[in-house]
């Protein structure tokens, strides 16, 4: 049976940890993407305790392009069988302000991490993923603006990521490149990113991790799709 290897960015906590865990429990061998060794090793220990096979970790600094080049080189050397990249890592930006009070620097930093960094890592891993008939899954939010939740920096960065997904999917199909890319919107989830907010309509990391893993494992082609697990709801 062919080895199934996945790199999940931001796998040391939150939704990334949940996705890594449930992909691992379904037979994937996991490479943890994290920003520092201590957090990575803690996550590896917790994942292995649940029965997940972890192959190792790689340093993912989405705001550092030279670091991403090094990460891609390391993945190519250590994990040449990689066939799935889950782009989960990101930053929230300042979610406490409206657009009128959003700092330009906050927009720039959020775009640098959530879009430019994600694109740079994806681009660097495309040759390896294509070699292995691979897939790219982006964890994102809708480009359409919700009246209930619309932090400008974060939504803008994810809209750019969604555009990347659509453009790449079209190009893969037009060129016959053996790659698949699609987006998953987990919906409102209680994580560090939102200060562990828990309101009606919110779901936990276990639920979202399991459902995302089931989607990835469903055997269907989802090229270019935007798949919403749970919609954004009004905060009561």
Active centre residues (catalytic): 154
Entry field: residues in the chain? 236
Of 162, 167, 159, 157, the residue nearest 114 (C-alpha):
157
| Token duo for residue 133 | 């008939």
DSSP letters for 93-158: --TTS-GGG--HHHHHHHHIIIIIIHHHHHHHHHHHHHHTT-EEEEE---SSPPSS---HHHHHHH
Q: E strands of the chain, at which residues?
A: 5-9, 29-34, 54-59, 82-87, 135-139, 180-185, 226-228
CA atoms of 117 and 92, how far apart (whole Å) = 14
């Amino acid at each position: 049976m062919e080895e199934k290897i996945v790199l999940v960015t931001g796998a040391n906590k939150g939704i990334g940890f949940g996705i890594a865990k449930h992909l691992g429990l379904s037979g994937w061998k996991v490479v943890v993407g994290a920003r520092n060794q201590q957090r990575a090793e803690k996550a590896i220990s917790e994942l292995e305790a649940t029965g997940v096979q972890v192959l190792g970790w790689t340093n993912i600094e989405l705001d550092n392009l030279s670091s991403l080049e090094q990460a891609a080189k390391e993945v190519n050397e250590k994990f040449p069988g990689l066939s799935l990249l889950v782009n989960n890592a990101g930053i929230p930006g300042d979610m406490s302000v409206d657009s009128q009070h959003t700092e330009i620097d906050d927009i720039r930093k959020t775009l640098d991490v959530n879009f430019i960094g994600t694109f740079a890592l994806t681009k660097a891993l495309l040759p390896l993923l294509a070699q292995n008939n691979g897939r790219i899954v982006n964890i994102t939010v809708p480009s359409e603006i919700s009246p209930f939740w619309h932090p400008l920096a974060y939504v803008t960065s994810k809209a750019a990521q969604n555009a990347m997904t659509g453009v790449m999917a079209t190009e893969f199909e037009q060129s016959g490149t053996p790659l698949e890319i699609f987006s998953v919107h987990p919906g409102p989830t209680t994580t560090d990113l939102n200060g562990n907010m828990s309101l009606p309509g919110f779901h936990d990391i276990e639920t979202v991790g399991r459902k995302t893993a089931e989607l990835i494992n469903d055997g269907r082609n989802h090229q270019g799709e935007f798949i919403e697990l749970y919609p954004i709801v009004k905060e009561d």
